[in-house]
Structure 1
């Protein structure tokens, strides 16, 4: 195969097609660890509005964007929310700082002092029109319409008992990002994602910037109209007793215009303690997440980056 499999969220939800589509999903998870999600139900205009508002935010003067940086958010860990400037993050130690800009947010929980919890400090609507509003609206759509259906299907496929996914993901721990890759050279170094799964919403550009490690080579992943890209994370690989693949990936953007990317990193509830069906892997979600974020903050890479040569 020269492209990723396509999985229909609508068919996963429909009684008549669920069994066959879950078989296709299992193949995609075992062979690729990546797939396109189609018929996902997210309005295209909602994605477009979030991308356009994000582009306006990144076009603001640097001094204004810095007001909403990590230090201004009051979060633990520090890098969990807010703005990160160009070359402000290292996802693979050999590659050095990535030439990309980022704004991180999550599920707002006023007064919650646990790791990764709290409220995001956004620029107001006069300064960045539609930025907070469009991102939070998209968050609601993704968390209500996509995550429960896809997450339940994945949990069933790795053999978890009925009700396991809503019990450990109500609510999930969410890392929502807005990334700007500059034209002709924006990159994100090779890494794996640390969570359960990641949903990637992106512009439909002709350049194939996303690359997935498959059969000992980097496979370019084109933007497929009206689709999301889904990849599995290290937590799901562990909980599947290593049957499902958390696949290395990277971004090398050579296009003539900037690229805006909107990934949603889905983790279990921060207080969860999880064990795989065969008992080969067990971990506390908070400890695994903090270890990964501390590695990124120290410049040692994300996920299994240090295993990737």
Structure 2
């Protein structure tokens, strides 16, 4: 593998090209579990503005950022929203604490007391100009323009009935994150993602920091201009009766400048209980998500981390 497959969201949405692009998407899901999404419709300027606003937030003094930490958010589970400092998270127990800092958010829904729901406590506009505003605007673009089209295509490929994706993802459970990897040594240890799929928006840097486990070795994934990276999660692997791959991956950033990463982790509705078409897997979304977060919080790693030697 010299590069990941490229899938066009525009072709998935067009009647004339949909069937052929769905075949290419199926190949990418079965063989790689990762692909580039091109012609996705997210304005390049919107991504750039969000990255710059995020840089300004991470440049604030640590004492100020910590005011917006996980413990200040009043969320359940605690680590679902807010700021986490360098070395604040363990994604693989053997690797220890990752040298990265991050801020987590989700869909803003005041009064919702379910797990992973509620209101994020952001720094205000005077303190972190554009930070909350750009993240939430990007969220709206992703949820309206990318998630329904891609999610419906994936649901069709695994044999779900018509309307299944809309029924269980309107809205989805969203875990949105902005990550800063420090220059010359920022890392994210090997893990799998727990959800249905993940969209990764990132800077177009020359360093190939993202690495994917493919054919028994780590393969670097270069930045491709005007693309997103998509990877499948453990829930989609289960719902495909294990035909699709939730592929292990990691980040090892050796570049001379910091790297900003903007992942969107897409899960079904938190109240859903789902069964794969062949009946091999049945699970509660809430139970699976909470179990995964408990594993991260207790230092046992994310997804199938403990299975990855």
Give distance in 2, aligned partners of 1:154 and 1:187. 30
Write out aligned runs for 1:180-199 (5 A). Answer: 180-199=180-199
Are 2:50 and 1:56 aligned?
A: no
Give distance in 2, aligned partners of 1:3 and 1:204. 15
Give distance in 2, aligned partners of 1:112 and 1:148. 23
Give distance in 1, aligned partners of 2:223 and 2:176. 20
RMSD, matched Cα: 0.3
Write out aligned runs for 1:60-71 (5 A). Answer: 60-71=60-71
Partner SS, residue 11 of structure 2: helix
Give distance in 2, aligned partners of 1:3 and 1:219. 9
Give distance in 1, aligned partners of 2:176 and 2:112. 18
Give distance in 2, aligned partners of 1:272 and 1:49. 35
After the TM superposition, list the runs of 4 or more consecutive aligned residues in structure 1 that deviate by more than 6 angstroms: none
- Residue of structure 2 equivalent to 1:24: 24
Write out aligned runs for 1:215-234 (5 A). Answer: 215-234=215-234
Partner SS, residue 174 of structure 1: strand
* Long gaps (5+) in structure 1: none
Give distance in 2, aligned partners of 1:93 and 1:58. 26
Partner SS, residue 211 of structure 1: strand
- Residue of structure 1 equivalent to 2:239: 239
Write out aligned runs for 1:25-104 (5 A). Answer: 25-104=25-104
Write out aligned runs for 1:36-185 (5 A). Answer: 36-185=36-185
Deviations 1:94-117 (A, max 9, x none): 000000001000001101100000
Write out aligned runs for 1:241-260 (5 A). Answer: 241-260=241-260
Give distance in 2, aligned partners of 1:192 and 1:102. 18
Partner SS, residue 204 of structure 1: coil
* Long gaps (5+) in structure 2: none
Give distance in 2, aligned partners of 1:193 and 1:124. 31
Deviations 1:126-146 (A, max 9, x none): 000000000000000000000
Are 2:227 and 1:266 aligned?
A: no
Partner SS, residue 22 of structure 2: helix
Give distance in 1, aligned partners of 2:214 and 2:148. 28
| Offset at residue 2 of structure 1 (A) | 1.5
Count of aligned pairs between the two proteins: 309
Partner SS, residue 231 of structure 1: strand
| Offset at residue 229 of structure 1 (A) | 0.1
| Offset at residue 34 of structure 1 (A) | 0.0
Give distance in 2, aligned partners of 1:274 and 1:81. 25
Give distance in 2, aligned partners of 1:97 and 1:125. 31
- Residue of structure 2 equivalent to 1:212: 212
Give distance in 2, aligned partners of 1:269 and 1:295. 21
Partner SS, residue 92 of structure 1: coil
**What TM-score results when the alignment is normalised by the length of structure 1?**
1.00
